[in-house]
Amino acid sequence: MPTPWQPQFLYAVCQHGAEAVLKRELAVRAPQLRPAFSRPGFVTFKLDAPCTDPEKFALPAVFARTSGFSLGSVKGERLHDLAAQLWQLPDVQAFLESHEVAGLHVWQRDERTPGERGFEPGPTILADEAEEAIRELSPIESLRPDSAAGRSTPRNRWVLDVSLIEPNQWFVGCHRTTSRVASWPGGVPDLELPEHAVSRAYLKMAEAMSWASLPMSRGERVVELGCAPGGASQALLDAGLEVIGVDPAEVDESVLADPNFTHVRSRSVETSRKVFRHVQWLAADMNVAPSFTLDAVEAVVKHPGISIRGMLLTLKLPDLALVDEFPAFVERVRSWGYRDVRLRQLAFNRQEICLAALRSRGQRRVLRTAGTRKRPTGKRPSGPGISTPPAAPAPSDHPESPI
């Protein structure tokens, strides 16, 4: 019997500056992990004992964009040499001998925090060139440049990961595509800010819709609390929804001109509850403390005659120590009758996280295009992350467990 593969080292990708809070979160939720090598946006850990069931292992972390097992690292000055070294790594060879690898994810570590000096996470020219070099030397037919598999990796398969920690230092790992986010290289959906977007909040909302897979359908209504100037509302409009934006601040003229958009110019507490009648979905992106956002949302969802099916809430984190309150946030939303509550720091979030809530997990939308990397979803009318027509429930879709 060959020795089973039982890895003991892991890696996780996070936002620049979120390393300490990621470690803090895991110290509570996965105390069997010890932090090891770390760079801004990239952290490794050692398990206190080898992992006996790597297929099932998941890192329970809001701040981990993606994660997997370590297989080694290579250093060098030329792409071709780095790619050649990678395929020679003993742990890579041992892994390939015992596992079928269906995909290759190559990405560059974030340079800065999202939105800082125009930086946005996602594909880079260097990562594309590195991927090409790696595929050219691949001993695995399905990863060769001309293979039919392309960049799309089916669900529940192994993927080989290459993270460009520095241009001349590549970290190699692997992970299972057990969730939609696990099929995005580096945990970043392939989105670009469309030209018509009035704020980068467009990206946040597009990613939130894609990650959360709420069963939104064209023509349904959503209220966004804190909508100005209107980028996130545009992503909702582009997805075919009717949007009511609540905000005392000015909304961009181009958004106001959309016949499917209505601006209610007031603060959330002053807004008539009638606005929320016949509305299926609620979003919030107010620059206030999380407890204020949750108070405002509670006052809506618990009001008689209002029936919100699901929510996408941005919770601002002026202080990262708020991580200790995440379980209380989740419990609070559950107490309103939303049993499926998840938190994630989205790739396009800044110092904030996204909370997605549904009445039950069985309502989550089927992911027909899981694993595909499509270029901008921002063009009208086919917008981001929405089902047409509504699809059947998918109880097994997201294995990411709530807090």
Ligand X SMILES: C[S@@+](CC[C@H](N)C(=O)[O-])C[C@H]1O[C@@H](n2cnc3c(N)ncnc32)[C@H](O)[C@@H]1O
Residue 225 lies near ligand X (rule: CB under 6 A): yes
The H-assigned helical ranges of 67-181 are 79-88, 90-98, 125-136
Out of 246, 315, 333, 354, the only residue in the binding site for ligand X (CB under 6 A) is 246
Q: Which of 110, 238, 242, 285 binds ligand X (CB under 6 A)?
A: 285
In the list 161, 207, 220, 247, the residue contacting ligand X (rule: CB under 6 A) is 247
Token duo for residue 6: 């039982």
List beta partners, residue 402: none
226 lines the binding site for ligand X (CB under 6 A): yes
Contacts of 257 (CB under 8 A, 6+ apart): none
The backbone torsions φ and ψ at residue 42, rounded to the nearest 5 degrees and listed phi first, read: -150, 125
- Asked if 229 is part of the footprint of ligand X (rule: CB under 6 A), the reply reads yes
Binding residue for ligand X, selected from 88, 287, 369, 382, defined by CB under 6 A: 287
Please provide residue 401's backbone torsions phi and psi, each rounded to the nearest 5 degrees: -85, 150
Dihedral sign of CA atoms 399, 334, 60, 31 in order = negative
**Between 146 and 319, CB nearer to ligand X:** 319
Using the rule CB under 6 A, give the single segment among 28-36, 61-69, 222-230, 303-311 that binds ligand X: 222-230
Q: Please tell me the count of residues contacting ligand X according to CB under 6 A.
A: 20
Residue closer to ligand X by CB (options 215, 226) is 226
Longest dimension (CA), the chain: 69
Token reading at 214: 């709420």
Are 248 and 266 in contact by the 8 Å Cβ rule? The answer is: yes
From the DSSP assignment, how many helices (H) and strands (E) are in the chain? 9, 14
- Closest distance to ligand X from the beta carbon of 289 (Å): 10
Residue from 85, 153, 177, 268 binding ligand X (CB under 6 A): 268
Beta bridge mates, 312: 283, 356
Shorter beta-carbon distance to ligand X: residue 126 or 288: 288
Sole binder of ligand X in the list 248, 337, 362, 376 (CB under 6 A): 248
Does position 199 bind ligand X by CB under 6 A?
Answer: yes
Alpha-carbon gap, residue 64 to 345, rounded angstroms: 8
Q: CB of 210: closest distance to ligand X in angstroms?
A: 16
Phi/psi at 196 (nearest 5 deg)? Answer: -80, -5
Angle made by CA atoms 185, 310, 368, in degrees to the nearest 5: 40
In whole angstroms, the minimum distance from the beta carbon of 332 to ligand X comes to: 18
User: With binding defined as CB under 6 A, does residue 201 bind ligand X?
Assistant: yes
Which residue in the set 123, 185, 230, 385 belongs to the binding site for ligand X (CB under 6 A)? 230
Given the rule CB under 6 A, which of 97-105, 131-139, 140-148, 243-251 is the region that contacts ligand X? 243-251
The Cβ-side half-sphere exposure at 279, using a 13 Å CA radius, reads: 24
Could you say whether residue 267 binds ligand X (CB under 6 A)? yes
Residue 96 CB, nearest distance to ligand X (Å)?
Answer: 44
Contact call for residue 236 and ligand X (CB under 6 A): no
Residue with smaller CB distance to ligand X, 55 or 270: 270
Euclidean distance between CA atoms 175 and 71, whole angstroms: 11
Q: 145 in helix, strand or coil?
A: coil
Q: What residues from 112 to 141 belong to the interface with ligand X (CB under 6 A)?
A: none
Contact residues for ligand X, defined by CB under 6 A: 199, 201, 225-232, 246-249, 267-268, 285-288
